Chain A
Amino acid sequence: MTLTASSIGRKVAMALSGIFLVLFLTQHFSINILSVFSENLFNEVSHFMGNNPIVQFILQPILIFGVLFHFIMGFVLELQNSKSRKIKYSSYKGSANASWMSRNMIYSGIVILSFLGLHFYDFWVPEMNYKYVEVLPLDPNRYFGELVHKFHSPFRVAIYALSFIFLSLHLVHGFASSFQSMGINNKYSKTIKSFTTFFSVVVPLGFIFIALFHHLN
């Protein structure tokens, strides 16, 4: 039986892909925050990530698969769940027993997916074009300028900030929930929840700070 054939298997698959994306987010944030402190260091690390064959041809496809899997599975689960109650309640007090974030993961997820579309259009598509379509010469110093250029528009910065607020809401439930899905609910659960809150605030806020920093400078 495949992992996704059962309801628990699907939960675990969502949890594992979610944790993988959290790890990626941490790595992405760690690199981006360098742009605030040192242009050279940011360029150096970005050049390494953009040209290392292991990152480009092994890790990047795994990441794209992880992103697609998490979103597709999220939509599949939502569709299945919507079929499990054909007639809706005329009065349903969801806020009495569960957080808004936990009840609206699909909506925060759709905002994040839309943001990813914009993010790919902003960075990934030009990068692929630069390296594999136009095959332009290597330039280890172009990354910082490309980053700063994207944050000139206050409209784009606002969209980025709003998206990261939704990412925060998604993480507040999703991160700790992943551990429950994988069967981890013990004396460490309180610490996991505290770390989830910390991570869900600090990382998205950090991304917003980076966008604002470059916009204002």
Chain B
Amino acid sequence: MNLTLKVWRQANSESKGKMETYQIADVSPDMSFLEMMDVLNEQLMTQGIDPIAFDHDCREGICGMCSMFINGEAHGPDRLVTTCQLHMRKFNNGDTITIEPFRAKAFPVIKDLTVDRSAFDRVQQAGGFVSVNTSGNTQDANAIPIDKHDADKAFDAATCIGCGACVATCKNASAMLFVSAKVSQYSLLPQGKVEATERVMNMVKQMDEEGFGNCTNTGACEVECPKGISLENIARMNREYLYASLKG
């Protein structure tokens, strides 16, 4: 396949970026999107052009590092996949592909397609944990019986890899799907219920401070999420937040 790529180039967080156009030839349909980017970078380096910076790590949809906005969609046109799992067979010979970084005020661009998603880390640090007394008499987790439905829902929420596609795709750059998944994965389990009130209040407060937008229930985040995190989690977080607010 021969493709035209329009890629966002930005030297650093301070500089003003712009879209650059590159041609790439002989792309195999079996390549992953990131392999295609690797080939493009080799081509650019032989031409003496600075290679395109992009985030990646595991390249098997687990780590949540890859973060490209491809042809107007987070992680590209495929569903339930990350950019590294997207294959070139989803495109046609002669296509023009637009590649941009995940854009949000809370995700500033570091360089080219890499963005700073540490806002998610700070939200997680605000309450996304269960405090455990490790004085030597810690209870075995398996000693606490958990309803199968709750365990499944908690597991589903815990599959969120924190890639930020929900923020990138939301027209308001809202982080509600991510935060609600992290709230839910703990609050559904008896171990997490103890700190549920404090957790939801602190995580939502941090989310707001980071500059994410307000959720308007468009549902775009659920559609674009590579892990299929459900909007049910947002409803659960709303319930818990309301309950926590009323409780004071």
Q: Please give the residue numbers on chain A whose beta carbons come within 8 Å of chain B beta carbons, in ascending order.
A: 1, 3, 6-12, 77, 80-81, 83-94, 96-99, 102-103, 105, 173, 177, 180-186
**Residues in B whose Cβ lies below 8 Å from that of A105:** 216
Is B174 on the interface with A (CB-CB < 8 A)?
A: yes
6 A-B pairs, CB-CB below 8 angstroms?
A7-B176, A7-B204, A11-B238, A84-B213, A91-B69, A183-B237
A-B contact count (CB 8 A): 134
**Residue from A12, A92, A102 having most chain B Cβ neighbours under 10 A:** A92
- How far, in angstroms, from A91 to B5 measured CA to CA in the complex? 13
Q: A84-B104, A91-B72 given as contacts; is B220 within 8 A of A7 (CB)? A: no
Shortest beta-carbon distance from A195 to chain B in Å: 17
Report the bound CA distance from A10 to B174 in whole Å: 13
Contacts of A83 in B (CB 8 A): 105, 211, 213
Say yes or no for B33: interface residue by CB 8 A criterion.
no
Shortest Cβ distance from residue A182 to the other chain B in the assembled complex, whole angstroms: 7
Is there an interface contact between A6 and B220, defined as CB atoms closer than 8 Å? Answer: no
Shortest Cβ distance from B101 into chain A, in angstroms?
9
Q: Which residues of A contact B113 (CB under 8 A)?
A: none
Q: Are B214 and A92 in contact (CB under 8 A)?
A: no
Is A183 touching B242 in the complex (CB atoms < 8 A)?
Answer: yes
CA distance A173 to B236 in the complex (A): 20
Does B178 count as interface, using CB distance less than 8 angstroms? Answer: no
Task: Decide yes or no whether B173 CB sits under 8 A from chain A.
Answer: yes
**Bound complex: CA A94 to CA B223 (Å):** 11
What are the interface flags for B11-53 relative to A under an 8 Å C-beta threshold, 1 for contact and 0 otherwise?
0000000010000000000000000000000000000000000
Tally of B interface residues using CB under 8 Å: 48
Kindly report which residue of chain A lies nearest to residue B98, judged by CB atoms. Answer: A91
Minimum CB distance partner of B180 in chain A:
A8
**B interface residues (Cβ-Cβ under 8 A, vs A):** 6, 8, 19, 69, 71-73, 77, 98, 100, 103-106, 169, 171-174, 176, 204-205, 207-208, 211-220, 223-224, 231-232, 234-242, 245
Minimum CB–CB distance for A155 against chain B, Å = 34
User: Which residues on the B side are within 8 Å of A10 (C-beta)?
Assistant: 214
Structural contact, B223 and A84, CB atoms closer than 8 A: no
User: Do A6 and B204 have beta carbons less than 8 Å apart?
Assistant: yes
CB <8 Å contact, A102 and B204: no
Decide: B169 and A102 in contact? CB cutoff 8 A: no
- Looking at the assembled complex, report how far the CB atom of A209 sits from the nearest CB atom of chain B, in whole angstroms: 30
Pair B98/A90 contact, Cβ less than 8 Å: yes
A173 vs B215: C-alpha distance when bound (angstroms)? 13
Please give the distance in Å from B169's CB to the nearest CB on chain A: 6
Supposing A6-B204, A91-B71 touch, asked if A85 and B235 sit within 8 A by C-beta, the answer is no
A189 CB to nearest chain B CB (Å): 9
Across the interface, which residues of A come within 8 angstroms of B231, CB to CB? 180, 185
State the CA gap A88–B104 with chains docked (Å). 9
Instruction: Indicate which residue in B208, B216, B235 contacts A77 across the interface (CB closer than 8 Å).
Output: B216
A88 partner residues in chain B, CB cutoff 8 A: 103
What's the Cα separation between A163 and B164 when bound, in Å? 38
Which of A7, A80, A94, A183 meets B171, CB within 8 Å? A94
Closest to A92 in B: B72
> Which chain A residues lie closer than 8 Å to B172 at the CB level?
81, 84-85
A53 to chain B, nearest CB (A): 33
- Give B68 Cβ to nearest chain A Cβ, in Å: 12
CB neighbours of B174 from chain A (8 A): 7, 81, 84
